[in-house]
Amino acid sequence: MHLLGISGSLRRDSLNTKLLRAVAELLPDDVELELYEELAIVPPYDQDRDGEVPPVEVARLRDAIAGADAVLFATPEYNSSIPGQLKNAVDWASRPVRAASLTGKPVAVIGASTGMYGAVWAQAELRKSLATAGARVAEAEVAVGRAEGRFDDDGRLADDEIRDELREAVATLVGEARVGELVAA
């Protein structure tokens, strides 16, 4: 089972990217997580450019999502919502309607923030957008508040409770993807 991890934060020391790296370390043997690392270069959504040959960065984004059995998003919260660049990627991946890389794709959303609440508003908004885009949003949530204190100097997660929550979220997401495999078979 191949998961794609998309962090909504672009900075090098992103807490959400660290959170996805922590997920990669606690996966079952038959599950792998690939980190999508090109969010910064996805151009702004433009219907004029969304034709038969989309921008190459967009084609790569869509291929990465289409090639994954499920997608795990980790989002920070900017001004009570999701980062614009992350929303932009969701918009590209939601087209063409009904044949998009996100159509029917099992997805889950987790989030980390330096504030108390772990980006719960952003997570809710991202779930709403993903559901409208046609994705199959798994009932999973991990909200890591005060996240800067939960990673050690090497950027590794140093919180067993969060690790358990991540394990549970991944199990829910993988479960959704496995149902999808059975339906397709």
Which residues form the interface with another protein (CB under 8 A)?
97-98, 103-104, 131-132, 134-137, 179-180, 183
* Closest to another protein by CB, 84 or 104: 104
Minimum Å gap between C-beta 125 and another protein is: 13
Per-residue exposure over 113-129, b if at least 16 CB sit within 10 Å of its own CB, e if not: beeeebbbbbbbbbbeb
Q: Which is nearer to another protein, 42 or 137 (CB)?
A: 137
What are phi and psi for residue 154, nearest 5 degrees?
A: -90, 5
Q: How far is the CB of 179 from another protein (least distance, A)?
A: 8
DSSP letter, residue 103: T
CB nearer another protein, residue 134 or residue 155: 134
CB nearer another protein, residue 59 or residue 132: 132
Which helix or strand (DSSP H or E) is residue 127 part of?
Answer: helix 120-132
Report how far residue 113's alpha carbon sits from residue 176's, in angstroms, rounded to the nearest whole number: 26
Query: Residue 94 corresponds to which tokens in the numbers above?
Result: 């939601």
CB of 45 to another protein, least distance (A): 15
- The least CB distance from residue 137 to another protein, in Å, is 7
